[in-house]
Amino acid sequence: MANKVFAWLDERLGLTTIYNTVLDRKVPKVNWWFTLGSASAILFALQAVTGMFLTIYYVPSPGQAYDSIQFIMNGVAFGWLIRGIHHWGASLMVIFVFMHMLRTFYYAAYKYPREFTWITGVILFLTTLGMGFTGYLLPWNQRAYWATTVGTEIAGTVPFIGPFINSVLRGGTDLSAVTLTRFFAVHIWFLPAVIGALIGVHIYMVIKLGISHVPDKED
């Protein structure tokens, strides 16, 4: 029965082809450093799922953000776990994406024909940092407030357009409800959309071009 259902779906969706192309593709002899890309992708998926669950209770408002997180931590079953995974997953994702980038750099895997894969990877690294920056404000506690005060102030030191950037980030001159909602929107909609799309391009190119081997004496 299961075989019949699978055969029916396979004939229409080409599941076997997808499996062979994506998972059974030829790869050179590589090492554990080559698992960092998959690890980053899985961390992103984990962040997306736990983040969706957090929005069930979280309220992006100065009056309620802190209290709603207290409720997640103490009032909801396993809220501490969901938020804990999101909290630690965020730090892990920055570390893994960065190590993935270092591996690519040291193995010179960014060279022809993989320059564009590298470019999408750089944008993915920057958007990951953006996720960290915007997510850090959302708890709306002292650390979040002052970290964002300092972070937006640093952005404000850019010559000439600094003050403009600062007020665009804050949505005004002060850190306020406007800042919180725009950081929230960027954190849950804009950056995830960009990251999701670019991961698609990135992985497509990895599959299309294949991965480079570990450099040897000849290289």
Does 57 participate in binding other proteins (rule CB under 8 A)? Answer: yes
The one segment of 12-20, 48-56, 90-98, 201-209 that binds other proteins by CB under 8 A:
48-56
Residue type, 83: R
Is 210 in contact with 24 (CB distance < 8 Å)?
no
Residue type, 171: G
The one segment of 49-57, 154-162, 178-186, 206-214 that binds other proteins by CB under 8 A:
49-57
Q: Shortest Cβ distance from residue 68 to other proteins (Å)?
A: 5
Q: Which helix (H) or strand (E) is 151 found in, with range?
A: helix 142-155
Among 78, 105, 164, 189, binds other proteins (CB under 8 A): 78
Among 10, 33, 39, 49, binds other proteins (CB under 8 A): 49
The one segment of 72-80, 107-115, 120-128, 131-139 that binds other proteins by CB under 8 A:
72-80
Is 175 in contact with 150 (CB distance < 8 Å)?
no
Token couple for 172: 């005004």
Does 81 participate in binding other proteins (rule CB under 8 A)? Answer: yes
What span, in angstroms and rounded, lies between the C-alpha atoms of 7 and 13?
10
The one segment of 81-89, 113-121, 133-141, 164-172 that binds other proteins by CB under 8 A:
81-89
Between 68 and 212, CB nearer to other proteins = 68
What span, in angstroms and rounded, lies between the C-alpha atoms of 157 and 131?
21
DSSP string, 115-138: HHHHHHHHHHHHHHHHHHHHHHHT
Q: By CB under 8 A, name the binding residues for other proteins.
A: 46, 49, 53, 56-57, 64, 67-68, 70-71, 75-79, 81-82, 85
